[in-house]
Structure 1
């Protein structure tokens, strides 16, 4: 695991995004988009995981595409990022795209450290995750969820349930004492991930600060 730092290190708001090799081509674009959406200063930590499927999955699960199973090492990943959350004067936000968005939602059940969770097109189809959210409270102030309006058209029956599962999670979160948003974006899972993630971080920042652009 390696951490890449962007933005202003002394900023009061710290955005943490779990990323893989495939994300780095768009990180600077995402940050530029985010700067256009909020006037709040922030530092941005891109935390690169070693194994996308293993390090971000909350428990083991069989492969749903290809041959790579899910190793269920989210707890180890959570322990590894705890040292970067040590400054009580900072506001920490956790987010990500796809399986990293799912990890962010799961992490919010483990700690109350994060002011907001930015889950852009999270892998809500992940086996038993909706049932997990039914039994566990997200200990955060704001949660942003989004999805592409064509993501449910997957030929894979497990992944095709993503919209139904995410809407059910959103309904569940509405009953919890936090601010929550679900936004549907045009396109499939692979359309404009940088824009979707920037919107997610911007929303949770605005909804936990009073000085951001509205």
Structure 2
């Protein structure tokens, strides 16, 4: 594993020994990276490279536009996804892939929570990613349903993975309690466009088994 710092982002690169393996870009927290990778190894994935980006400004880098606080003590989301995606494509990706054993067969994008929202949103902005995995994606985010229903992805992805905890929509917060309905509607919409999709309902809340759920989604898109 090699680590880089690019524009204050930490980039951990786990190369494959096999040239031309696919590469998965994972936006995550730095303390989750090793656990996710160990879970992937335990699942017996085919050869792949993992590029994990952390030290993110979560409510800025992973959100497509401004959204006010969802609760009294929360902070707003400030809509920096387009800028972060440009950094990912123009700087992080070239530097990371220069350290890989050959050009990747394809690129995937994965993330949990707001990074799961970003994983889908990015497909509407760039054709670089062939597959994506959104685990507990924040599809309660205001305006995201209208956006995906009125825009087309830059390319038809090979496959899309969606998962959610079965208790995530069990909340009195009217913003958050639509998350399961919205996730399933997005999955149905994408499937209707001829994309291979799956929706997995895990046991538990948003904060349970995050790294295992992340690995499960990446494992799925690697095995299509």
**Same fold judged by TM-score > 0.5?**
yes
Task: Describe how 1:43-54 pairs up with structure 2 within 5 A.
Answer: 43-54=49-60
Task: Describe how 1:29-108 pairs up with structure 2 within 5 A.
Answer: 29-65=35-71, 66-83=73-90, 84-86=92-94, 89-90=103-104, 91-108=106-123
Structure 1 residues 2 and 27, CA gap change in structure 2 (3 angstroms): closer
Gaps of 5+ in 2: 1-8
Q: Among residues 1, 25, 41, which one is paired with 2:31 in the alignment?
A: 25
User: What is the aligned-residue RMSD (CA, Å)?
Assistant: 1.8
**Which residue of structure 1 lines up, in the alignment, with residue 131 of structure 2?**
116
Gaps of 5+ in 1: 208-214
TM-score (norm 1): 0.89
Q: Among residues 189, 199, 206, which one is paired with 2:216 in the alignment?
A: 199
Q: How many matched pairs? A: 204
Deviations 1:106-136 (A, max 9, x none): 0011112112101000001000101111122
TM-score (norm 2): 0.85
Q: Write the distance in 2 (CA, Å) between the matches of 1:38 and 1:92.
A: 19
Deviating beyond 6 angstroms after TM superposition, the runs of 4 or more aligned structure 1 residues are none
Equivalent residues of 2:112, 2:137 under 8 A apart: yes
Q: Write the distance in 1 (CA, Å) between the matches of 2:129 and 2:166.
A: 28
C-alpha displacement of 1:18? 1.0
